[in-house]
């Protein structure tokens, strides 16, 4: 059985079975994305605490050595695209105070 045009356009599937699988998987991805966003927001808050403590003690807002460690961790875990992901995350976490 083939899907109707609206389902095909929405999922790219050519059967109802595939459309259902894709729809379910997309719901799971949306849920994961919400969790990832929440974790990044939590990381931003923790980073702000660290930056505030560092600045109030006379240090610099950013610790480049630590950022290099984070970049390496993401690169090791996810390959080259992990570095770009970590850079974006670090950018989100800088300078919120």
The CA distances from residue 19 to 30, 31, 33, in Å, are 16, 18, 21
Predicted local distance difference test score (pLDDT) of residue 66: 96
C-beta pairs of 40-43 under 8 Å, 24+ apart in sequence: 40/89, 40/92, 43/89, 43/93
Q: Report pTM.
A: 0.82
Task: Give residue 6's pLDDT.
Answer: 67
Compute the distance between CA of residue 4 and CA of residue 13 in angstroms, rounded to an integer: 10
75-97 residue pLDDT tens: 999 999 999 999 999 999 986 54
Q: Helices marked H in 1-97 — which ranges?
A: 5-11, 16-56, 64-78, 80-93
């Amino acid at each position: 059985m083939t899907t109707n045009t609206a389902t095909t356009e929405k999922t790219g599937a050519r059967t109802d079975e595939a459309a259902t699988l894709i729809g379910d998987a997309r719901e799971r991805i949306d849920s994961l994305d919400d969790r990832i966003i929440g974790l990044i927001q939590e990381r931003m808050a923790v980073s702000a605490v660290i930056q505030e403590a560092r600045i109030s003690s006379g240090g610099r807002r950013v610790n480049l050595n630590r950022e290099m460690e984070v970049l390496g961790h993401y690169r090791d875990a996810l390959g080259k695209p992990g570095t770009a992901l970590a850079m974006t995350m670090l950018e989100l976490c800088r300078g919120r105070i």
